[in-house]
Amino acid sequence: MDAVPSYLEQLYAAGLLLPTGVDGLYGRSRMFEEVVEHIATRLGRWGRERKAELLRFPPAMQRDRLVRAGYFKSFPQLAGTVHAFCGNDRDHRAMLRCMEVGDDAWLDQQEPTDLALTPAACYPVYPIVAQRGRLPASGLLFDVRSWCFRREPSLDPTRMQLFQMQEYVRIGSPVQVLEFRDGWMEYGRHLFATLDLPCEVDVANDPFFGRSGKVLADSQREQKFKFELLVPVTNAEKPTAVMSFNYHGDHFGQAWNIRTYDGDVAHTACIGFGLERIALALFRHHGLDTRAWPADVSATLGQSA
């Protein structure tokens, strides 16, 4: 008997995702991309209604800014830094000779640049806010979206190395940012109900690196700093986080010296949406062809049937 094709094999067979030779890196078809854009537009409505400031950045950022944000302390295993050839003509000839004989030694000539790949859409926002001076009394609300890199190759299509994250970022007093985060935990559930997707919200932790990381993860859970909205996608028993609700306390406020209207260190929170993960959840539950999706789901997404 033939083995049941994995979800990734089904997505390849339907032409929704295209293999690139790298686990966790996929090409996408028009149908897939249209679903992603419809999700992004639907999510964007909440921010438009609240006059969130929309900011977009390229998927790379100043490496030093990522260092200052503490990313390499917490997640060195996920970070991607950009390297480039910086040699002269002689170095170039040596490089080509190595390549001809398949010798990876040419990589020794790749030198670090000042760039790192953006690991979450909100990182570029904090230093920019800090440069603006004190926050207004009502705090700030941003709508950001970026391609994000995380070095976590996998055959699970929901775990990509490059994916698109949309986020709402709230910066202000502890009361302001917690109200935002907790409100979204309710609204997120409602949103997924309107997409006919089963979901649960649970306390979560980030994948902090190493032995000291275990302590950080435990404390993050204990303090209920992170929640995730989970939907069964590739594994019915182990649902996938499609959305996260993160309270950072004063971590970014301290790192960038962001001050509230009253001069206190600002607190921050962000709501992250994995656009591909939400699309993959929809394809999993409603079928691999959007033309056969339930009318109410298509209507919620604003798709014409």
Closest to 226 in 3D by CA, of 191, 200, 254, 201: 201
Smaller CB distance to Zn ion: residue 66 or 122?
122
Rounded Cα distance, 105 and 95, in Å: 8
Residue 235 tokens, joined: 């594994």
The interface with ligand AMP within residues 260-279 (CB under 6 A) comprises 272, 274, 276-277
Rounded Cα distance, 139 and 176, in Å: 7
Q: Which does 122 bind (CB under 5 to 8 A by kind): ligand AMP, Zn ion, none?
A: Zn ion
Among 95, 141, 160, 199, binds ligand AMP (CB under 6 A): 160
Smaller CB distance to ligand AMP: residue 150 or 284?
150
Is 127:142 a contact under the CB 8 Å cutoff?
no
Q: Does 141 bind Zn ion (CB under 5 A)?
A: no
Residue 162 tokens, joined: 């490059």
Q: In the stretch 103-122, what mask flags binding to ligand AMP with x, by CB under 6 A?
A: -----------------x--
Q: Does 61 bind Zn ion (CB under 5 A)?
A: no
Smaller CB distance to ligand AMP: residue 158 or 290?
158
Q: How far is the CB of 219 from ligand AMP (least distance, A)?
A: 17
Q: Does 270 bind Zn ion (CB under 5 A)?
A: yes
Query: In this structure, which long-range contacts are made by residues 290-294, counting pairs with CB atoms below 8 Å and at least 24 apart in sequence?
Result: 290/31, 290/34, 290/35, 294/196
Rounded Cα distance, 192 and 184, in Å: 12
From 15-23, 105-113, 127-135, 152-160, span contacting ligand AMP (CB under 6 A)? 152-160
The interface with Zn ion within residues 158-177 (CB under 5 A) comprises 167
Among 38, 63, 145, 150, binds ligand AMP (CB under 6 A): 150
Q: Does 71 bind ligand AMP (CB under 6 A)?
A: no
Q: How far is the CB of 249 from ligand AMP (least distance, A)?
A: 16
Cβ-based burial of 20 (10 A; exposed 0-12, middle 13-18, buried ≥19): exposed
Among 35, 39, 117, 122, binds Zn ion (CB under 5 A): 122
Q: Does 244 bind ligand AMP (CB under 6 A)?
A: yes
Q: Does 213 bind ligand AMP (CB under 6 A)?
A: no
Q: How far is the CB of 254 from Zn ion (least distance, A)?
A: 16
Where on the chain is the footprint of ligand AMP (CB under 6 A)? 120, 150, 152, 158-160, 163, 165, 228, 241-244, 272, 274, 276-277
